[in-house]
Chain A
Amino acid sequence: MLSGMTKEGVERKVEKTSISLPAYLAAYARSKENTSAYVADLIAADQRRTNVHELLEQQGYVDRLAVTPAGCAAMGDRLAALEAARRRSSTRQAA
């Protein structure tokens, strides 16, 4: 990180860049309302995924304890089901 610049400041700093994409992907990206924000969100999500998996590996979550995409997907489904049940309950209570 640059001296005197906070992490938040680094995240807000914008840099114009040029990348090459297959034409069909470039067309899809341009179809989004804000192409730059769309691409930035995709990269940020990938960065979050990479960071958390590296941290978990560093913490000992490897081999039989490895956190896998399939395991996360199943956990995500469980969490989403609970959150949906909670929303239904709060809707019933509000009615």
Chain B
Amino acid sequence: MSHVRVVFDATALRAYLELAGVSAGELIATVYESGGFTGLPALVITSLWDTLDSEQRDRLKLLVDDPDSPVQILPLPVGNLLDVLALADRAGGDQGLAHAVHEACRHNAVLATVQQQPAGRLLDDYDILDLS
């Protein structure tokens, strides 16, 4: 089974898609070169989708559709739904962040974010890689 070493929250994925800096790209490359993958939780993608312009959507499609993609979309299994919603209650209703935190815990992975504070309400500092 492939190893998800890092999970992106919506702020990290947005930074990557907006070309807002090089950190998110460096992280994706670093993880892939090590033999791992970067996880993109489904609810992170759905929470961002409406806010992406066509160029950013194309970038996301190319990223996930590439036959040697360094990322994996992480689905939300029905059995995890209520746990994720409970986490969302603790995250101010942010279902994308809740799914990201849940997947990071499930894969024993680090959560990558550009805004450490919201994730910091749910995870310890050493679980979070701040890309800001």
* List of B residues within 8 angstroms of A52 by Cβ: 28-29, 32-33, 68, 70
Contact B29 A82 (CB under 8 A): no
Chain B minimum-CB-distance residue to A57: B25
Q: Which of B59-67, B82-90, B95-103 lies at the interface?
A: B59-67
- Report whether A7 and B27 are in contact in the complex, using a CB–CB cutoff of 8 Å: no
Report the interface size for chain A: residues with CB under 8 A from the other chain.
29
Cα–Cα distance between A64 and B128 once the two chains are bound (Å): 26
Q: Is the CB of A82 within 8 A of B59?
A: no
On whether the beta carbons of B26 and A85 are closer than 8 Å, the reply is no
Using CB atoms and an 8 Å cutoff, list the residues of chain B in contact with chain A.
5-6, 19, 21-23, 25-35, 59, 62-63, 66-70, 110, 124, 126-129
Q: Using a CB–CB distance below 8 Å, which chain A residues touch chain B?
A: 7, 45, 48-49, 51-53, 55-56, 58-61, 64-67, 71-72, 74-76, 78-79, 82-83, 85-86, 89
